[in-house]
C-alpha cells in the first residue's frame, strides 16, 4: 500500500504496511478479514490503544487523572481494555454505565454526565455508587429521592456551563446558551440545594468542546475552567475532590491537519496542578478523552465488490459505507465534506496491488449519494475483492452510525 501523492494525511503510518499489505498488530489484513469471517468490519489495535495511553502518561503530569469517555467507542472489549489502563470511565447513559461496570470499571471511578438523565437512570447511578455530573436543577430532587430510597447519598459534581467559550473546537459544548451543564450564574443556588438535601458534593465538571487541534486554546480553556471552579468552590458545601477540566484533544482527520502538540498542554496542566495543590488541596485534576485515546487505533475495512467507470470517473463500490461509518462519509458534524485517510490493501492471495494509480471514489451500497467514503482520491488501481481501509476510525464509528438504514448487514467489531 502506498501513500497517496496528494493531498497528504498526517495519520496513516500508525499501522504497519509490509509487502504492500496493511497489518493490524502483526496480522496481515487479508488474514484478519478471513478470521473475522465477513467484511465490512472495524478492527481496533490493542497495541495502539496501550501505546496511546502510555504516551499520554509520559507526557502529562503524574497528578493528572486520565478518564476515558466511552461514547467514543463503547465496544465492551475496548471498554474492558481501557478500564484497565486509565483512571476512570465517563459514561453518558445508564446503558453505557452497565457496559462500564460489566467491563470491570470501579464504580468509584465512573462518572455519569449528559443532559436529560431519566429518573430510572439517576436511580441506577446512585445505586451503583458512581459520580453524577448534574446538568440541571431538575436532577437534584430526583437524586435526593433516590438517596432516601436507597439509603446512600448520591455522589454529585456540578457540570458547569461556563461564561466563556473556546476557540478551535470542532464542536462547542460550553459557553453561551447550551443544553449541557448548569449556567454558572445558577450554580450557587444549586449548591445550596445540594447542601440542604445532604447529597455528597464532590466537585465540578467543565467541558468546553471536542476535536480541538489547537493546544493554546485547550490550555486557555483549562486555565479558565480551573479559575471558574475555584470561584465556585467558595460556595460549595464540601471541599472539591474532583475537578474535571474536560478534554477536547483532537486527532488529525483531514489533509493538512497536524497532530496535537502535547508539550504546551502538559506544561499548562503542571501549573494548574501546582495551583490546585495550594488552592484546592483535596482535588484531583481529571481530564476526559474520547477520540484522542481510541480514534487513531481503529480501521474500518470494506471489500470492493465492483469497479465501475461512469463517464470516465472510477467508482470503487464496496460492501461498507455510511450505514457503518457515518463520520467518514462526512455526515456526522462536518460542515464541508473532506476525505478521511483511505488506503487500499490486497484482498486476494497472490494478487498484490500494482504500482499503477488512478483517481477513484470509494462508495458504499446505499442508494444515496451521501454514501461516499472517499471522494476522488489518488489510489492504487484496485479490483473486485481488494480491501478499502478507512483510518482514524476507532471513535464515533459503528455506534455512531445508522446501521439499519437500508437494511444491509451490520458490521462486526474486533479488538486485535
Ligand X SMILES: *Cc1c(COP(=O)(O)O)cnc(C)c1O
Give the binding range for ligand X (CB under 6 A) out of 52-60, 203-211, 256-264, 343-351: 203-211
Q: Take residue 236 and report the three cell numbers written for it.
A: 460549595
Q: Distance (Å, rounded) from C-alpha 336 to C-alpha 330?
A: 8
Q: Distance (Å, rounded) from C-alpha 233 to C-alpha 223?
A: 15
Q: Where do the H-state alpha helices sit in 116-261?
A: 119-128, 139-150, 187-197, 215-233
Q: Take residue 318 and report the three cell numbers written for it.
A: 464496496
The answer to the question of residue 66 lying near ligand X (CB under 6 A) is no
Least CB distance from residue 291 to ligand X, whole Å? 4
Q: Which of residues 94-113 bind ligand X (CB under 6 A)?
A: 113
By CB under 6 A, how many residues form the interface with ligand X? Answer: 15
- If you compute the radius of gyration of the chain from its CA atoms, what whole number of angstroms results? 23
Q: Which of residues 366-395 bind ligand X (CB under 6 A)?
A: 395
Nearer Cβ to ligand X (32/243): 243
Nearer Cβ to ligand X (30/291): 291
Nearer Cβ to ligand X (91/379): 91
Give the binding range for ligand X (CB under 6 A) out of 29-37, 49-57, 134-142, 204-212: 204-212
Give the binding range for ligand X (CB under 6 A) out of 46-54, 64-72, 221-229, 304-312: 64-72
The answer to the question of residue 68 lying near ligand X (CB under 6 A) is no
The answer to the question of residue 210 lying near ligand X (CB under 6 A) is yes
Give the binding range for ligand X (CB under 6 A) out of 15-23, 66-74, 118-126, 344-352: 66-74
The answer to the question of residue 72 lying near ligand X (CB under 6 A) is yes
Nearer Cβ to ligand X (254/315): 254
Angle between helices 76-85 and 46-59 (to 10 degrees): 30
Give the binding range for ligand X (CB under 6 A) out of 69-77, 252-260, 271-279, 327-335: 69-77
Angle between helices 215-233 and 187-197 (to 10 degrees): 50
24-63 mask for ligand X (x: CB under 6 A)? Answer: ----------------------------------------
Show Cβ contacts of residue 312 under 8 Å, excluding neighbours closer than 6 positions. Answer: none
Q: Distance (Å, rounded) from C-alpha 306 to C-alpha 385?
A: 8
What region, left, alpha or beta, does residue 133 occupy, with left being phi > 0 and alpha being psi -120 to 50 degrees? Answer: beta
Give the binding range for ligand X (CB under 6 A) out of 41-49, 65-73, 253-261, 372-380: 65-73
The answer to the question of residue 292 lying near ligand X (CB under 6 A) is yes
The answer to the question of residue 207 lying near ligand X (CB under 6 A) is yes
Nearer Cβ to ligand X (21/139): 139
Which residue in 48, 65, 56, 43 sits closest to 14, CA to CA?
48
Neighbours of 219 (CB within 10 A): 18
Residue 147 to residues 112, 113, 140, 241, Cα–Cα distance (Å): 16, 18, 10, 20
How do beta strands 155-161 and 182-183 pair?
parallel
* Contact of 30 with 387, CB cutoff 8 Å: yes
Q: Which one of 288, 371, 386, 413 is in contact with ligand X (CB under 6 A)?
A: 288
**DSSP helix/strand/coil, 342:** strand
Nearer Cβ to ligand X (164/315): 164
Q: Distance (Å, rounded) from C-alpha 22 to C-alpha 379?
A: 14
Give the binding range for ligand X (CB under 6 A) out of 67-75, 318-326, 328-336, 337-345: 67-75
233-252 mask for ligand X (x: CB under 6 A)? Answer: --------------x-----
The answer to the question of residue 253 lying near ligand X (CB under 6 A) is no
Binding site for ligand X (CB under 6 A): 69, 71-72, 90, 113, 207, 210-211, 247, 288-292, 395
Amino acid at each position: 500500500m502506498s501513500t497517496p501523492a496528494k493531498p497528504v494525511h498526517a495519520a496513516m503510518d500508525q499501522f504497519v504496511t509490509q509487502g504492500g499489505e496493511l497489518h493490524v498488530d502483526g496480522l496481515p489484513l487479508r488474514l484478519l478479514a478471513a478470521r473475522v469471517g465477513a467484511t465490512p468490519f472495524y478492527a481496533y489495535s490493542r497495541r495502539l490503544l496501550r501505546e496511546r495511553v502510555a504516551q499520554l502518561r509520559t507526557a502529562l503530569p503524574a497528578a493528572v487523572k486520565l478518564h476515558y469517555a466511552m461514547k467514543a467507542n463503547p465496544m465492551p472489549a475496548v471498554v474492558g481494555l481501557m478500564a484497565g489502563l486509565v483512571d476512570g470511565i465517563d459514561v453518558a447513559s445508564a446503558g453505557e454505565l452497565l457496559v462500564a461496570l460489566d467491563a470491570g470499571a470501579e464504580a468509584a471511578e465512573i462518572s455519569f454526565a449528559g443532559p436529560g438523565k431519566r429518573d430510572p437512570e439517576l436511580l441506577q447511578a446512585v445505586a451503583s455508587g458512581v459520580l453524577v455530573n448534574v446538568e440541571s436543577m431538575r436532577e437534584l430532587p430526583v437524586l435526593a429521592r433516590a438517596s432516601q430510597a436507597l439509603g446512600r447519598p448520591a455522589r454529585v459534581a456540578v457540570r458547569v456551563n461556563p461564561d466563556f467559550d473556546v476557540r478551535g473546537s470542532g464542536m462547542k459544548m460550553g459557553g453561551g446558551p447550551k443544553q449541557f451543564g448548569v449556567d454558572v450564574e445558577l450554580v450557587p443556588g444549586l449548591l445550596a440545594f445540594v447542601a440542604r438535601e445532604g447529597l455528597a458534593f464532590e466537585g465540578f465538571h467543565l467541558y468546553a468542546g471536542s476535536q480541538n487541534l489547537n493546544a493554546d486554546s485547550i490550555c486557555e480553556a483549562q486555565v479558565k475552567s480551573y479559575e471558574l471552579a475555584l470561584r465556585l468552590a467558595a460556595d460549595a458545601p464540601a471541599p472539591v475532590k474532583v475537578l474535571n477540566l474536560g478534554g477536547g484533544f483532537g486527532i488529525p482527520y483531514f489533509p493538512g491537519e497536524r497532530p496535537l502538540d502535547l508539550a504546551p498542554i502538559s506544561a499548562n496542566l503542571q501549573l494548574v496542578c501546582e495551583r490546585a495543590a495550594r488552592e484546592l488541596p483535596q482535588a484531583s485534576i481529571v481530564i476526559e478523552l474520547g477520540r484522542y485515546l481510541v480514534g487513531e487505533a481503529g480501521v474500518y475495512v470494506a471489500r470492493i465488490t465492483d469497479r465501475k467507470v461512469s463517464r470516465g470517473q472510477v467508482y470503487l463500490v464496496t460492501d461498507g459505507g455510511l450505514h457503518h461509518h457515518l463520520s467518514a462519509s462526512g455526515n456526522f458534524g462536518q460542515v464541508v465534506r473532506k476525505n478521511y485517510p483511505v488506503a487500499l490493501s490486497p484482498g486476494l492471495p497472490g494478487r498484490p496491488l500494482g504500482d499503477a494509480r488512478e483517481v477513484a471514489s470509494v462508495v458504499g451500497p446505499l442508494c444515496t449519494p451521501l454514501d461516499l467514503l472517499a471522494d476522488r482520491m489518488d489510489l492504487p488501481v484496485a479490483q473486485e475483492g481488494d480491501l478499502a481501509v478507512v483510518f482514524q476510525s476507532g471513535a464515533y464509528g459503528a455506534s455512531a452510525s445508522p446501521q439499519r438504514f437500508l437494511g444491509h448487514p451490520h458490521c462486526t467489531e474486533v479488538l486485535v
